Amino acid sequence: MGVLSNIFSKIFPSSHAAPAQAPTNTAPAPEATAANQAAAPGVPPSAAAPAMSEVDVEAVLNGLAQKNPQKLNWRSSIVDLLKLLDLDNSLAARKELAQELNYTGDMSDSATMNIWLHKQVMNKLAANGGRVPADLKD
């Protein structure tokens, strides 16, 4: 399991989907489209599926922070976010996360990488059903 999956498992309920990956084929299969239309005539396929409730990421993380004896700045620090989630926050783990998220910058510039990682993690949480404050995303 990758670092991003570990982050998701700590924030989202177990019934929540794993991080979305880039689709390999954007066109739906003809049978799937026909089945969706038959199941809910006149309703667009995306509206026919039940909506998964959003997870308030800020509330989850604030709740964890209140229980944590350390004062962790999860709102701006990827290191503190990982600590709060009781995950490996080492440089090696952050480099692994950077590779998972396709970081193209200089991994030896850890300050720049860390800022980028924090934004990307927040963006991924938001893209996968998390409600994330706008100031924490790109």
**Does 48 map to a domain?**
no
DSSP state of 135: G
pLDDT score, position 50 = 39
**Does 81 map to a domain?**
yes
**Under a CB-based contact definition with an 8 Å cutoff, are residues 132 and 125 in contact?**
yes
What is the number of structural domains in the chain? 1
**Does 43 map to a domain?**
no
Instruction: Report mean pLDDT in 10-residue bins for the chain, 138 residues.
Output: 93 69 44 44 43 83 96 97 97 98 97 98 95 92
**Does 79 map to a domain?**
yes
Q: Which domain holds residue 90?
A: 1-12+53-138
pLDDT score, position 44 = 45
**Does 101 map to a domain?**
yes
**Does 125 map to a domain?**
yes
DSSP string, 37-87: HHHSTTS-HHHHSPPPPPEEHHHHHHHHHHH-SS---TTT-HHHHHHHTT-
* Model confidence pTM above 0.85: no
**Does 68 map to a domain?**
yes
**Does 76 map to a domain?**
yes
